[in-house]
Amino acid sequence: MTERSSILSTAEQRRPLVAAAALHEFARGGFHGATIADVAREANISPAYVFKLFPGKESLFVSALERCFEKIVEALAEGADAAADQSPESVLDAMGGAYAKLISDRQLLMLQVHAQSVAEIPEVGEALRAGLATVTTFAKRRSGASDDAVQRFIAYGQLCHLIVTAGLEDVPQEWARILSHGIRHPE
């Protein structure tokens, strides 16, 4: 093996590790709050090496977001496979439960929230739309549910995001009870 191919192999191995570090840091600080230096520190590499692997902050954020949506689809698939029966309603319900469990650690949830807040950045907006397309298409294909049912599933997920990020499960006022009625997230 030549030195050049060894470097490429190391780079190929490091990219997913750096993307995981980016997911952690961007979920914590957002696109504007997290720096390349933060990601490098989390990945135990130099900022220069991060730039060698990813041409800019946008591509690093996109890589983290793509990994986020991969994890979401993996969780939805596991949920669908564990559904009590394979009716569209049961599959969507099981996928929703699996997603609620997945976002209980908030890292993937926060990365999505941060992505939505900077979707005007062309690369981020494109990656966000691609991720939503993947999730929506997967939910439709795997459940066999109607378009309306899949739309409700996605909308329900966005409501879950709002409940968790705003901490509505602990708000005793009637308006918060209305929004969170019947929605429980694993601890």
Residue of 45 and 5 predicted with greater confidence: 45
| pLDDT at 11 > cutoff 80 | no
CATH number assigned to the domain comprising residue 124: 1.10.357.10
- Which among 59, 138, 137, 135 is positioned nearest to 103, based on CA atoms? 135
SS3 assignment, position 169: helix
- Residue 31 in domain: yes
**CA 139/CA 91 separation, integer angstroms:** 9
Q: What is the pLDDT of residues 82-113, one digit of tens each?
A: 999 999 999 999 999 999 888 887 899 999 99
C-beta pairs of 45-51 under 8 Å, 24+ apart in sequence:
45/14, 45/18, 49/14, 50/18
pTM of the model: 0.88
- Which among 24, 17, 62 is positioned nearest to 44, based on CA atoms? 17
What pLDDT sits at residue 187?
A: 59
- Residue 185 in domain: no
Number of domains in the chain: 1
Structural domain harbouring 21: 3-180
Count of Cβ atoms closer than 10 Å to residue 128 Cβ: 20
> With contact defined as beta carbons under 8 Å apart, do 96 and 185 qualify?
no
What pLDDT sits at residue 186?
A: 60
- Residue 61 in domain: yes
**CA 98/CA 185 separation, integer angstroms:** 10
- Residue 187 in domain: no
- Residue 186 in domain: no
From residue 150, alpha-carbon distances to 5, 83, 88, 154, 157 in Å are: 45, 16, 9, 6, 11
What pLDDT sits at residue 5?
A: 45
